[in-house]
Amino acid sequence: MENNLVAFLCDLLGKIPLEIMQYEFMRMALLGLLIITPMAAICGTQVVNFNMSFFSDAIGHSAFAGVAVGLVMAISPEYTMPALALLVGLAIMAVKHRSGLSSDTVIGVMFSAVVAAGLAIVSRYPDAMKNSQMFLYGDILTISEKDILLMLGLAVVFTVFQLFAFNKMICIELNPQLAKAHRIKVGIYQYFFAALLSLVVIFAVKAIGVLLVTAMLITPAAAARNLASSYGKMVWISLIIGIVSSVAGLFLSFQEWMQTSTGATIVLCSCMFFIISLIFRKKKRA
Amino acid sequence: MKLPPNHDCKCVNAVTFKGVSVGSNDVNILQNINAVIPHAGCTAIVGPNGAGKTTLVLALLNEIDYTGTIEFCSNRRPRIGYVPQQLAFDRGMPLTVTEFIAAFHQKRPLCFGIQKELKQKIHDLLGETGCLHLAQRPLGALSGGELQRVMLAGALSQDPELLILDEPASGIDFKGGEVCCELLERFRKAHGFTQLMVSHDLNTVMAHATHVICLNRTVITQGDPKAVLTQEVLARAFGPHIGCSCGKDHNHGK
């Protein structure tokens, strides 16, 4: 039944009257992007306003260790990657809450730890090298049905959380102390958000690669922040820029005159939006 | 903003501090604080810099660890409205004043718009605190005084039983500070909440507070400001060179 869902959605996309949509892998790639991009764009606004881009970078890099651990324990990386990302995300939050260290320092330590762990394992098992290399650049074109199902599951949880917690997250972003004084359970929301962000990042890694995953999250949001006059508008602009960049990037990378990596093309598209946003930036009132 | 009459607390004191101490590594920030915040009054915490005024507020907000007990009327934490001394926030965030207040009240995500009813409430409240013209401005573009008024509107929108203001006049010029205090007095009488303010402006305290806690690591004295803030007490709290004749003439000074 689940496979039918993915097949149904793919068929739907197949109705788009474009030649390249006849290819199964293109329909899958577009479907994958259409699920992950809105989540990345919304998370992105929160990451930008929360100052958490380093956090998402660290989670992205945990993908290495995730793949490596999976290979050693003979578990499919499909499961070990999200599991490790979740673990690292929650660990960063926990250490931050319990120690007097700045979040940059905590993330820096965790970041190095997971990358070192990944490298250590990979260096012992050279076979793992090939496999983990694909995560450097990502490959949306090889996305599997299982990946899409997992992403759909994440999208459901993500939507429920955002519908309930979106405004509370704004209060916490603004000033946790004020939020706490006004009866918002800051800790729970922060942990929940860290968990969801970790999962969104790790699925985005599959699409776009470790090197560019942070760009996928923050570039649309950064451009939106330049243009928006209110928080509500920032979310919509970020969403539109994210989706347009993803779709445009996917199609452009397939043009005969381009033939570039899809992930890189998507990021270049959103960077173009960022440059345009700098030109049309709202003048800050004194 | 119409507030329901939920302040039917019969207690004399809204908050009672019993032997509250705050300290870390042999440094005592607050030592054995025994004090009360009378219900429906305006209590001021005064004291020199580093006396632990903000620390006492943070203990009350449960933001820091303390020993001793803080008792509330009816044994339940009151609904608190809080105006921090300085709100540290990302000034580049494109959040409007209306959105800021709405975020604390509305479940539906702000990007789907603000409910009409809530918008009207915020509109009224901003009108009452004299910052209606700021409604659509980004929060980061406000001046210190404007921001404090908006914070006040936000705190009042909580329909507080206990309104806590940390240095309410520090970001506002003298005239603005006066207006702010009068506004608060009017609000307090209309809505019957308990007000607690941290202040080092003795003139304001003399003019507006009904109860004062004079603090310097420990409670120097507490009670009716006109009765307890004598030259001798002020000298003990602030040192002998306080040079303020507030006890006699509160128009003097700044």
In the prediction, which pLDDT does A282 show? 67
Percent of chain B past pLDDT 70, that is, above it, reads 85
By Cβ distance, the residue of B80, B92, B136 closest to A225 is B92
A280 to chain B, minimum CA–CA distance in Å? 15
In the prediction, which pLDDT does B5 show? 45
B164:A166 CB<8 A: no
Average pLDDT over residues A234-241: 96
Query: Which residues lie closer than 8 Å to A110 by C-beta, 6 or more apart?
Result: A58, A88, A91, A92, A95
Cβ count within 10 A of residue A220: 33
- Three-class DSSP labels, A55-77: HHHHHHHHHHHHHHHHHHCCCCH
Would you say B62 and B147 are in contact if contact means Cβ atoms under 8 Å apart?
no
Alpha-carbon span A127 to A123, nearest angstrom = 9
Average pLDDT over residues A99-113: 90
Residues on chain A touching B84 (C-beta within 8 angstroms) = 175, 177-178
Among A37-41, A176-180, A262-266, top mean pLDDT goes to A37-41
Name the H helices within B19-161.
53-60, 97-103, 116-128, 144-157
The full set of domain ranges for chain A reads 2-279
In the prediction, which pLDDT does B250 show? 42
Please tell me which residue of chain A has the smallest CA distance to B142. A286
Query: Which residues lie closer than 8 Å to B150 by C-beta, 6 or more apart?
Result: B97, B100, B101, B126, B129, B131, B134, B139, B142
Taking one residue from A and the other from B, the number of pairs with CB-CB distance under 8 angstroms is 102
In the prediction, which pLDDT does B1 show? 43
Please tell me which residue of chain A has the smallest CA distance to B61. A181
Residue with the two structure tokens 């009452």: B128
Q: What are the distances in angstroms from CA A82 to CA A25, A249, B22, B89?
A: 23, 25, 42, 32
- Banded model confidence at residue B246, pLDDT cuts 50, 70, 90: very low
In the prediction, which pLDDT does A283 show? 60
pLDDT tens, position by position, A10-27: 888 888 888 888 888 889
A171 to chain B, minimum CA–CA distance in Å? 6
In the prediction, which pLDDT does A131 show? 66
Alpha-carbon span B184 to A225, nearest angstrom = 35
A227 to chain B, minimum CA–CA distance in Å? 9
A103 to chain B, minimum CA–CA distance in Å? 16
- Count of residues making up chain B: 254
ipTM over 0.90: no
A30 phi/psi in degrees, rounded to 5: -65, -40
Angle at A179 between CA A177 and CA A185, to 5 degrees: 105
Query: Which residues lie closer than 8 Å to A126 by C-beta, 6 or more apart?
Result: none
Nearest one of A279, A273, A162, A268 to A222, comparing CA atoms: A273
- Collapsing DSSP states into helix, strand and coil, what is residue B16? strand
Percent of chain A past pLDDT 90, that is, above it, reads 58
- pLDDT at residue B254 tops 50: no
- pLDDT at residue B25 tops 80: no
B89:A166 CB<8 A: no
- Banded model confidence at residue B164, pLDDT cuts 50, 70, 90: very high
In the prediction, which pLDDT does B232 show? 81
In the prediction, which pLDDT does A168 show? 95
Would you say B229 and B213 are in contact if contact means Cβ atoms under 8 Å apart?
no
Nearest one of A28, A23, A85, A38 to A59, comparing CA atoms: A85
pLDDT tens, position by position, B93-135: 999 999 999 999 999 999 999 999 999 999 999 988 888 999 9
In the prediction, which pLDDT does A13 show? 86
E strand or H helix at A266 = helix A262-279
Residues on chain B touching A232 (C-beta within 8 angstroms) = 99, 110-113
In the prediction, which pLDDT does A167 show? 95
pLDDT tens, position by position, B165-203: 887 665 554 455 566 777 788 888 888 899 999 987 787
B80:A183 CB<8 A: yes
Residues on chain A touching B80 (C-beta within 8 angstroms) = 181-183
In the prediction, which pLDDT does B239 show? 74
A135 phi/psi in degrees, rounded to 5: -80, -15
Residue with the two structure tokens 């209309």: B190
A166:B109 CB<8 A: yes
B79:A183 CB<8 A: yes
Q: Is B1 exposed, middle or buried (0-12, 13-18, 19+ CB in 10 A)?
A: middle
Range of weakest confidence among A175-184, A259-268, B14-23, B161-170: B161-170
Range of weakest confidence among B51-60, B65-74, B224-233: B224-233
- Please give the domain boundaries of chain B with CATH numbers for all domains: 9-79+160-254 (3.40.50.300), 89-159 (no CATH)
Please tell me which residue of chain A has the smallest CA distance to B155. A182
Helix, strand, coil shares of chain A, percent, nearest 5, are: 85, 0, 15
Average pLDDT over residues A164-183: 92
The CATH number of A2-279 is which of 2.60.40.1180, 1.10.3470.10, 3.40.50.300, 3.60.110.10? 1.10.3470.10
B141:A233 CB<8 A: no
In the prediction, which pLDDT does A45 show? 95
Nearest one of A266, A265, A175, A168 to A217, comparing CA atoms: A266
B134, amino acid identity:
L
- pLDDT at residue A213 tops 50: yes
pTM of the full structure = 0.87
- Which of residues 143 through 162 in chain A touch B, CB cutoff 8 A? 162
pLDDT tens, position by position, B32-63: 899 999 998 899 998 888 888 889 999 999 88
Please tell me which residue of chain B has the smallest CA distance to A283. B141
- pLDDT at residue B84 tops 60: yes
